[in-house]
Structure 1
Amino acid sequence: MGPTDRMRILVIAVGSVWPTLLATIDGVRGIDPGVLDVTRIFRTSRLRKLFKVLLPAASPLILAGVKTSLAFSIILVVVSEMLASTAGIGYFISSSQQYFNLPSMWAGTIAMGVLGYLLSEIFFTVERRLLAWRDDA
């Protein structure tokens, strides 16, 4: 696909979707079989079963997967900018390193760390609100 924006977006999407997908599968598989039997006995519709049983039961693991995907996507953004871009923090860090401009390189690295920290804190706030119904949230 060449060093285009489309390629970078594809790399980030493909690289970061797997933790969420695998955590979702694990969360749905971990649901108590007795709960699924009850939905079968009461002939619950598929849509109601999905939104009232499966998603609430699997949501802690789904959000854990999204948290991991967030970290992967930040890493992939920086790496894709370092390798195939002429703009962005990753490019700034890489070009600063090539020209031995160490203060700029460290400034870019610290900026990425702060950005990652802020995104993580925003996600933790959203996660606490979404999982407020849990006792151990």
Structure 2
Amino acid sequence: MHALYSDHHGWLFGWLRKKLGCSDHAADLAQDTFVQLMSAAQPVAMQEPRAYLTTIARRLVFASWRRRDLEQAWLAELAALPEDVAPSPEEKAIVLETLLAIDSLLDGLSHKARTAFLMSQLDGLTYQQIATELGVSASRVRQYMAQALTCCYAAL
């Protein structure tokens, strides 16, 4: 691991810095890439270490972008609330943490399955309404919901 880190950390950091345009964020994600590699249950035999590191780093970049987008959407919703009903800083942190946990939980689902689940649970739409909105059949919505609920039960 030491040899892998010393041979490739500088390259990975440079690649991330170029991709992200931010040295601090690139440094964090480069470290997170190696932490994820070290925390793997089984050691990985790599024939192409840079390709493997790039794959891990890309996933982390996408996750950070998704987290940022989710956080910005939440902050935009908060800004629209009147001040007298705005949640406290502690409540904001709890809700954001919960949103990120739900996002992580539903990460393995397709976009349509995730959207169907959220439309059902958050908007209270019926399967037929969701089907119309997504342009699929109601039976397909039932399949999406089964997939989502399976993810939820697996997390318990």
Give TM-score, length-normalised by structure 2.
0.31
Give TM-score, length-normalised by structure 1.
0.34
